[in-house]
Chains A and B, each alone.
Chain A
């Protein structure tokens, strides 16, 4: 399967009378987009705002971040099962508005949502401070239950990203990046001497607002399965998560999965990137056993020599991570795991809730309990009053002067377990 990504660089977003992409600027007709989003009867209001790199702006509580993309050629549409029919995606050409993102915010559950600071100390830890963000502040009609509200915000984000993506359908991309995965047999013939490497992508599926969707299917109701790496670039996997902000994989992360990019970068040279195994992180022991058995079985079945395993979340999913690692290693397949740490504010505690000697090659996205001081921002998009309650904050986190003292946990994407960032710990 072969996919070309047409990169269209966006250096600014502005509200305008006509929505269009021109000269690297994304112009948005606010009313038109708002009308589209407000078609959802669950919603009472939708405010649109723009946050640019370097601005003194804080966005909170952040639910999801989504990159606008559009299918130019090839089967299906971006976000299959949601914004397009359930056709297999990942081939042909897709245009990407690189440098732009849709950020969704709203009250949702209150606890688990994150912070994106566009400048200052906090900006160093989130990759989204580097993007031009169109922020949707979405509120539900009274009496809407949280899970219905979550779904409404999730769809609002996807709708907005799809709307923006379509503006770039006919634009000539300045750069084309090509990604291709041959079939298993072709791969063996092409690269007979290269180690066969797979990627085990763990999807948050603990339920109760901890959900990830694959082609519209709730991952917790799926067996461990396989997809072509390029399918993820067309939005085959989306986030429906309301979990701790630092290590949840937003839809943006799924679209720009760094493990997939970095394995492709070495594909055909140092390794043969065979494919992606997606597995879930359910809460019942039987599910954990079944899913990790299947991960190991598929690694064996594909004749892999090595696999990278990435996690999402922490605590309970640590057990899934270690089970996957242990069982895959037991099949003779060498592994590297990517996780993050909860070593306490002093960094002295044990970092994971589970451990095994098989997990001897570990990459870490840093200690999420690290305490940081975020300066006051001139402008807040969203609701600042939740800072004391979000995971990683505490009563008194929000200081009188508008600054915040909290754990790194509060920052969206700060300790990402796909290895999206350079932040780490030793």
Chain B
């Protein structure tokens, strides 16, 4: 039997309305209020073992409320925690979102809540827990329970959920694959006709806010600067010792080039799978210009070339991965006293 803990507010717990919004967290055995409908919808597969409730004002005004709620839930060792649904109640939505996110993060238990699209809790917590779409008031309870209960059962069993659209939850920002009824080109024609007619249409990929980086000011005294090379062009020691992937790289390599004056086809090669490697393999300096940097070093145009260079493959590599790589090696570059970096791509 799947064990469920249900979190609700003072109103649904039958304690009273706004006048009772200041009551601290409490726990009772079994179901209370809307829990009855959930229990029925589980059809014997799951059972609400305990209900935790708290006044909405108390929850939002007292930092320790969440600590108490999490420990009350932890004592039950549930398979899943259901919060609300909160419909369009703002403070209740924030409480449900907080409990669902914290329980999931701290206890590793799957969590599910439900809200109306305008509830402020949706945008605050959609990336941290599954929030099912509901109507704006308790009049939609029957529908909300019917939608949430089967999803809760599947989550408790460890099943992967389908896309937000297919399952009826608010997109978490995680892209989930699905097979559509119509092929992409037919969907594009449909979407264009709607757009031309001024009708509402739904894009399949909302454009992200772009992370634009302002370039640093120019290096004032290059002749005394320590310069490092970093490349996404995949230049690695021959044999690719770190097995950097040809696309969608999961890591980067750090390589010592102290005493190396020129890269040759005997010593270096590219791991990159996004371009014809012939020219890069024949002369790896084309992508990682060690030869020219050494000349500049000799001529005194730069202070020195850093002993280490960093390399990864940019081909199909997720932006989040690239950011993570740079976060790590930027700190090393700074620790090494590097003042300027030449980034080469392909």
Binding site for B on A (CB under 8 A): 109, 111-112, 145-147, 195, 197, 206-210, 242-244, 258-259, 261-263, 265-266, 270-271, 305-308, 310, 314-315, 334-336, 338-339, 341-357, 359-370, 389-395, 407, 409, 416-426
Contacts and interface: CB of A to CB of B under 8 A. Distances in A.
B275 A426 contact: no
B177 A210 contact: no
B192 A338 contact: no
A418 B185 contact: yes
B276 A393 contact: no
B183 interface: yes
Contacts of B321: 344, 349
A389 B189 CA distance: 37
A236 to B, nearest CB: 19
Contacts of B247: 111, 244, 391-392, 407, 409
A423 B177 contact: yes
Interface in B150-188: 163-166, 171, 173-188
Given A334-B195, A361-B192, A418-B185, 11 more contacts: A111-B273, A244-B274, A259-B188, A338-B188, A342-B317, A348-B320, A355-B208, A391-B246, A416-B184, A419-B186, A426-B178
B207 A426 contact: no
Contact of A390 (B166, B250, B273): B273
Contact of B275 (A206, A354, A409): A206
Interface stretch (B60-68, B83-91, B197-205, B218-226): B197-205
Given A244-B274, A361-B201, A422 B208 contact: no
B184 A363 contact: yes
Given A259-B188, A266-B189, A425-B163, A244 B316 contact: yes
A363 B248 contact: no
Contact of A391 (B163, B182, B316): B316
Interface string B105-124: 00000000000000000000
A152 to B, nearest CB: 15
Nearest to A388: B243
B56 interface: no
Nearest to B187: A363
Interface residues of B, number: 58
Contacts of B189: 259, 262-263, 265-266, 271, 308
B192 A362 contact: no
Nearest to B189: A262
Given A147-B276, A425-B175, A355 B207 contact: yes
A282 B277 CA distance: 18
Which has the most chain A C-beta neighbours within 10 Å: B171, B189, B314, B317? Answer: B189
Shortest beta-carbon contacts, A-B, top 4? A419-B184, A344-B318, A419-B185, A208-B276
Nearest to B193: A270
A336 B177 contact: no
Given A351-B175, A425-B178, A315 B274 contact: yes
A426 B316 CA distance: 19
Summarize A's interface: helix, strand, loop or mixed: loop
Contacts of B183: 258, 262, 419-422
A349 B188 contact: no
Contact of B180 (A244, A368, A422): A422
Given A336-B192, A391-B316, A350 B185 contact: no
Contacts of A244: 247, 273-274, 315-316
Contact of A426 (B165, B272, B278): B165
Given A314-B316, A342-B318, A422 B165 contact: no
B245 interface: yes
B192 A308 contact: yes
Nearest to A309: B188
A315 B245 CA distance: 16
A426 B171 contact: yes
Contacts of A409: 247-248, 316
B213 to A, nearest CB: 14
Given A365-B184, A421-B184, A146 B193 contact: no
16 contacts: A112-B246, A195-B193, A210-B276, A243-B274, A336-B191, A338-B188, A344-B321, A345-B318, A350-B211, A351-B175, A357-B207, A367-B175, A369-B248, A392-B248, A393-B246, A394-B250
A342 B272 CA distance: 16
A346 B320 CA distance: 10
B273 to A, nearest CB: 3
A336 B188 contact: yes
B175 A426 contact: yes
B235 to A, nearest CB: 15
A362 B177 contact: no
Contacts of A307: 192
A244 B196 CA distance: 34
Contacts of B317: 342
A416 to B, nearest CB: 7
A79 B133 CA distance: 52
A109 B175 contact: no
A416 B195 CA distance: 23
B255 interface: no
B31 to A, nearest CB: 33
B174 A346 contact: yes
Contacts of A261: 185
Nearest to A366: B177
Contact of A258 (B184, B210, B243, B276): B184
A65 to B, nearest CB: 17
Given A338-B185, A364-B204, A345 B177 contact: no
Contacts of B179: 422-424
A310 B185 CA distance: 9
A407 B171 CA distance: 23
B175 A341 contact: yes
Contacts of A315: 274, 314-316
Contacts of A335: 192
A363 B189 CA distance: 10
Nearest to A271: B193
B1 interface: no
B334 interface: no
Contacts of B177: 366-367, 370, 423-425
A39 B250 CA distance: 44
A426 B171 CA distance: 8
A347 B175 contact: yes
